Amino acid sequence: MLEINTEEAEGYTLIRPSGELDAYTVGTFRETLARLAEGGDLLIDLSQVSFMDSAGLGALIGGIRLSREAEHAVAVACNRPVLVRLLHTTGFDRIVPVSESVEEAEEALLAEPDE
């Protein structure tokens, strides 16, 4: 089961999925990212995601692409070693800042130059 909480912060939307992000639950996550991508900068906190497969990673990359097409910045916070390793191994951290805490991700997000 996947739950997704969102909240508006100053200058960005914080998205906090919790649970498993896999082929069975990815639709909700993909829809949420697509809906929010055009509205402004996004900070995605993966710290409560217990598992993510390639479908989840694909949805994450797709949401980032939509956000960038709308000329918005994206940053990711994740303190789960298994997920951080996945993000580094796949090169995900080369396309978007990945930080251990929401505070660090917020700094990276707000530091990104406007396109």
| pLDDT confidence of residue 1 | 84
Query: Considering the entire predicted model, what is its pTM?
Result: 0.92
Token pair for residue 50? Answer: 């217990």
Q: What are phi and psi of 16, to 5 degrees?
A: -125, 90
pLDDT band at 105 (very low <50, low <70, confident <90, very high): very high
Domain 2-111 classification at class level: alpha beta
SS (HEC) of the chain:
CEEEEEEEECCEEEEEEEEEECCCCHHHHHHHHHHHHCCCCEEEECCEEEEECHHHHHHHHHHHHHHHHCCCCEEEECCCHHHHHHHHHCCHHHCCCEECCHHHHHHHHHHCCCC
| pLDDT confidence of residue 75 | 96
Q: Which of 44, 63, 52, 43 is nearest to 19 (CA)?
A: 52
The domains of the chain are located at 2-111
CB 90, CB 57: distance < 8 Å: yes
Give pLDDT tens digits for 48-60. Answer: 999 999 999 999 9
